[in-house]
């Protein structure tokens, strides 16, 4: 029996792993998996580089056992579908599911995959001192290299953005791609840490409300922009806000709009129509109905009396899920 050749350089290692085009139909039937190399850059970079981005999809045993492929190269793997396992030569083991992200290191042999279950992942191989700093400072713990991140489509898109389209490999592209990956990793670590350990909830909610109050003055809330300021995905921010406050950011935004509307009606010389337009309402009548519903008076009546200047709290959903 011929002994399997051990890759001696990075190109050989890539060819040995991503070789789907050379497999015949019989081999594919025996090992039902698909490996695709989406991006590679073999040009060295002193700061760091993304070596490859690839995907694996399988419906049976996954050939993911690896040795120390090439010195210095680590990888990030994000599970897109299915469930499976991870094991490492130092005895570390973990069950995996969709949404899990984990890291591998060249000093350990490791294996992962779905076994006999369906499995799909997106892998990024990388190297360089800008990534080594994550480990030397303890930001990323090699003894606990697992994160859980959702929504999956968001993080999948972030990783796929690493792929340089229609550009020849270059030192500049290697540096830019490496920088983007570093940003993704730090965002992922921050997102996971907050999700697992939390922070001062009241301080956090006050800061988010402040951002929503500011957006209310433009008449439009961009939850994506607000979420970025707190290093969250929009869905994570919405879920965390609702859990702490008891109502959604959207409910609070509508309350903030009415607070600001009350200020404008009471303190400004703008007409009701101008206030309606300033706050993004399609017409004055719709604005007036919403104003009266929130404050108990129409804008004209409120301007005459000046009572109840502020909406004291957002309108909360009742136990039937209806807005009371």
199 has pLDDT over 60: no
pLDDT in the model for residue 80 = 95
Distance (Å, rounded) from C-alpha 310 to C-alpha 259? Answer: 5
Q: Which residues contact 242 (CB under 8 A, 6 or more apart)?
A: 248, 249
Over residues 263-277, the mean pLDDT reads 89
Tell me: the pLDDT tens digits for 92-108?
Answer: 999 999 999 999 988 88
* CATH 2.60.120.10 residue spans of the chain: 10-197
pLDDT 10s digits, 18-44: 554 455 666 656 666 677 888 888 887
Which has more confidence, 260 or 60?
A: 260
Strand locations in 128-276, DSSP E?
146-148
If one looks up domain 201-305 in CATH, what number appears? 1.10.10.60
In the chain, CATH 1.10.10.60 covers 201-305
- Cα dihedral value 265, 271, 273, 275, nearest 10: -40
Least confident of 16-20, 143-147, 158-162, 289-293: 16-20
48 CB neighbour count, 10 Å cutoff: 20
Task: Decide if domain 10-197 falls under CATH 2.60.120.10.
Answer: yes
Q: Are 103 and 41 in contact (CB under 8 A)?
A: no
The gap from C-alpha 253 to its chain's centroid, in whole angstroms, comes to: 23
Percent of the chain with pLDDT over 70: 75
| pTM strictly above 0.85 | no
């Amino acid at each position: 029996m011929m002994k399997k050749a051990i890759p001696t350089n990075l190109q050989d290692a890539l060819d040995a792993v991503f070789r789907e085009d050379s497999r015949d139909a019989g081999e594919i039937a025996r090992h039902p998996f698909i490996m695709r190399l989406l991006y590679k850059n073999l040009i060295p970079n002193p700061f760091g580089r993304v070596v490859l981005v690839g995907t694996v999809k399988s419906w049976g045993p996954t050939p993911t056992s690896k040795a120390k492929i090439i010195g210095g190269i680590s990888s990030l793997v994000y599970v897109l579908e299915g469930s499976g396992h991870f094991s490492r030569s130092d005895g570390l083991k973990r069950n995996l599911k969709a949404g899990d992200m984990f890291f591998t290191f060249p000093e350990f042999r490791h294996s992962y995959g779905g076994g006999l279950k369906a499995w799909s992942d997106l892998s990024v191989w990388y190297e360089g001192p800008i990534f080594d700093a994550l480990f030397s400072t303890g930001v990323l713990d090699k003894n606990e290299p697992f994160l859980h991140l959702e929504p999956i489509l968001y993080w999948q898109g972030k990783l796929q953005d690493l792929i340089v389209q229609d550009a020849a490999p270059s030192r500049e592209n290697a540096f830019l791609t490496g920088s983007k990956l570093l940003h993704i990793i730090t965002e992922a670590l921050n997102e996971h840490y907050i999700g697992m350990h939390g922070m001062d909830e009241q301080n956090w909610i006050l800061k988010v409300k402040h951002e929503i109050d500011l957006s209310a003055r433009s008449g439009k809330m961009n939850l994506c922009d607000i979420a970025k300021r707190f290093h969250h995905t929009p869905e994570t921010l919405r879920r965390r806000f609702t859990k702490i406050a008891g109502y959604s950011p959207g409910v609070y935004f509508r309350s903030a709009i009415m607070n600001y509307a009350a200020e404008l009606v009471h303190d400004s010389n703008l007409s009701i129509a101008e206030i309606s337009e300033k706050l993004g309402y399609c017409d004055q009548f719709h604005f007036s109905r919403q104003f009266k519903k929130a404050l108990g008076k129409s804008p004209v009546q409120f301007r005459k009396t000046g009572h109840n200047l502020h909406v004291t709290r957002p309108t909360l959903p009742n136990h039937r899920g209806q807005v009371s």
